[in-house]
Amino acid sequence: MKNRLTWLAVIMTVSFLGIAAHAAQPSVEATARRVDAAIAEELFDDETDLAPTTDDETFLRRVWLDLVGDLPSPEEQTAFVFDLSPKKRQRVVRRLLESPYYGQNWARYWRDVVFSRTLEDRAYLAANAMEADLSRQLNAGDGWDRIASGFITAKGDVKENGSTAIVMAQDGRTEETTAEISRIFLGIQIQCAQCHDHPYDRWKREQFHELAAFFPRVGVRPLRGMTQRSFEVFGSNRFGRKQRKNNDRRPQAEHFMPDLNDPTAKGTKIQPKFFLTSASLPWGSTDAERRSKLAGWLTSNEWFSIALVNRMWSELVGEGFYEPVDDLGPDREASAPKAVKLLANQFRKSDYDLKWLLKTICQTEAYQRESRPRHKSGKTPFTANVPQRLRSDPLMNAAFSALEIEEMPEKSPRRYRKNVRRQFAEIFGYDPSTPRDSVTASIPQMLALMNEPQINRAISASRSNVLGRLLEEIGDNDQLIVELYLRCLSRQPTEEELSLLLAYGEEVGDRREAFEDLLWSLINSAEFRYRK
């Protein structure tokens, strides 16, 4: 009985602490209002032309694509529009964030961030493990600080530990790994100071190499005795006295800043020091000590939270407080500095809870405004949401969902072979860190949607696909047009569109052919390829 009472007390204490921690999180609603107010104070005046709040159809498609990378079904769209609850937008955001597809969608986003800058194709051996592990972490609600620390300190088989992805993508090279850790988690392009003082920011050449001194003992090596090829990220603490050669990927004991006047010289031995605070470690520190200390210092720095908030805001609202999203720092000017610092501080108080951050952004007026083209949004940011070209994964998901195409699973989730999804990525993929106005359509992209075999088979009406079934089930042409619009664009056709399409059907004279043409046009439309 005593033991039972002891365990009951422990459970009650843990439960209370969990409730208290949850209750201590900043209010989503209050934070969203404060962020909107800060933006209005910093950027808007009585003459500012603000876009109105977007309609329910557009909001639902937007939030589905943003949070889970897919389209709502026609049934979900209709139910949402007819729901009269004033809290329905908050409810659908919460529901989507509890979906397993939330973690999958954002894991694929970060996979693209990491592997868009990979040095060689063999690094893709780590891609599936990263997607699987990060998806699980995101769905479990792991804090961004914990996730980042995992990437910084990772070791092990790259096919088994997804956190090894950044080191593997950079082939374990000290300088390249250093640059990516700073760019991804701090938004600071300190690699510009590798060979000389930064031309635009305050960073000195020594500061880049002081940061690099946290990584000289990290390496990538093949795993022996495996039936399938793999590599291992490792941190070594046993070294010979001989300095490694330029083409030797084995770790060295300490980091040396090269002598630019004499490339053959050993260079200057550099002590590990975090450039944002000057916190340092002594020479001789183990690899585990270096990377764990750096992870702690980096994730507790204000630029860690600012970088993540800025990146997420840019993805959801269409433009960041800083542009590009991976080039900020104390010498760069934000469009609304009070607003971004407010949101970053609240994100930090939430224990770096990504779901909390996404809920907050989705509840702001800035997110829920109608969209306007980037070049027409004017000089004042955040007066409207900005349309976003879909990344390859959401685009494929949208096409397969609209056409009810079943994606065949890979035989092994740890492999990254050229299946349909990777083929989509090679054609439609882009680096999510690049400014969106530089992401343009290409002829191969246009041809891909027109000619992709599975899509073409689904558009050609037959008894085995969705269009053939709908042609049999829905005899009214008006209703079938509405159904296809809801499936592809998550909205009903305008009266003008409906009239033109009915007239086109009469002109063609063949119902099946007319609706195949309509479905093909919707899938290949610019509206389908964008989220607005």
Query: Alpha-carbon distance 93 to 134, whole Å?
Result: 20
> What are the boundaries of each domain within the chain?
25-52+302-384, 101-238+247-299, 392-531
pLDDT class for 514, splitting at 50, 70, 90? Answer: very high
Q: For the residues 105-125, what does the mean pLDDT come to?
A: 95
The band of 224, judged by pLDDT with boundaries at 50, 70 and 90, is confident
Residue 477, exposed/middle/buried by CB under 10 A (0-12, 13-18, 19+)?
middle
Indicate the SS3 state at residue 5.
helix
144-179 per-position pLDDT tens digit: 999 999 999 999 999 999 999 999 999 999 999 999
pLDDT at 250: 54
Q: How many other CB atoms sit within 10 Å of the CB of residue 86?
A: 7
Largest CA distance in the chain: 85
pLDDT at 67: 98
Please tell me the predicted confidence (pLDDT) of residue 373. Answer: 87
DSSP string for 308-342: HHHHHHHHHHSS-SSSSTT--STTS--SSHHHHHH
Q: Tell me, what's the pLDDT at 229?
A: 85
pLDDT at 247 over 80: no
Counting residues of the chain whose pLDDT is more than 70, the rounded percentage is 89
Token pair, residue 500, equals 């033109």
Beta bridge partners of 531: 388
Contacts of 146 (CB under 8 A, 6+ apart): 137, 352
Asked if residues 372 and 51 have their Cβ atoms less than 8 Å apart, the reply is yes
pLDDT 10s digits, 1-45:
444 444 434 434 444 444 444 458 999 999 999 999 999 999 999
Distance CA 232, CA 222 (A): 6
- The pLDDT of residue 15: 41
CA distances from 73 to 161, 404, 489, 508 (A): 35, 10, 10, 29
Question: What mean pLDDT is predicted for residues 360-381?
Answer: 88
Tell me which residue of 317, 320, 322 sits closest to 370, measured CA to CA: 317
| pLDDT at 230 exceeding the cut of 80 | yes
- Residue 221 pLDDT: 94
Backbone torsions φ then ψ of 369, nearest 5 degrees: -75, 160
Assign 88 a pLDDT band (cuts: 50, 70, 90).
Answer: very high
% of the chain surpassing 90 pLDDT: 77
H, E, C per residue of 397-412: HHHHHHCCCCCCCCCC
User: End-to-end distance of the chain based on CA atoms, in angstroms?
Assistant: 61
Q: Which residue has the tokens 């930090």?
A: 348
Which residues, other chains included, contact 356 with Cβ-Cβ below 8 Å and sequence gap of 6+?
25, 26, 28, 347, 350
pLDDT at 227: 62
Residue 217 DSSP symbol: T
pLDDT-based confidence at 473, cuts 50/70/90?
Answer: very high
Phi first, then psi: what are they for 28, rounded to 5°?
-60, -50
- pLDDT level of residue 243 (50, 70, 90 thresholds): very low
378 pLDDT band, cuts 50/70/90, is low
Closest residue by Cα to residue 460 from 451, 479, 529, 497: 451
Instruction: Report DSSP letters for 22-60, one per residue.
Output: HHTSPPHHHHHHHHHHHHHHHH--TT--PPPBPPHHHHH
Query: pLDDT confidence of 420, banded at 50, 70, 90?
Result: confident
CA distance 455 to 457: 5
Banded model confidence at residue 352, pLDDT cuts 50, 70, 90: very high
Phi, psi for residue 216 in degrees, rounded to 5:
-70, -20
How many CB atoms within 10 Å of residue 119?
13
Token digits of residue 332: 């760069």
Return the ∠ at Cα 15 (arms to 14 and 17), rounded to 5°. 65
Q: Is the predicted pLDDT of residue 97 greater than 90, yes or no?
A: yes
Highest mean pLDDT among 16-20, 186-190, 422-426, 461-465: 186-190
Average pLDDT, the chain: 90
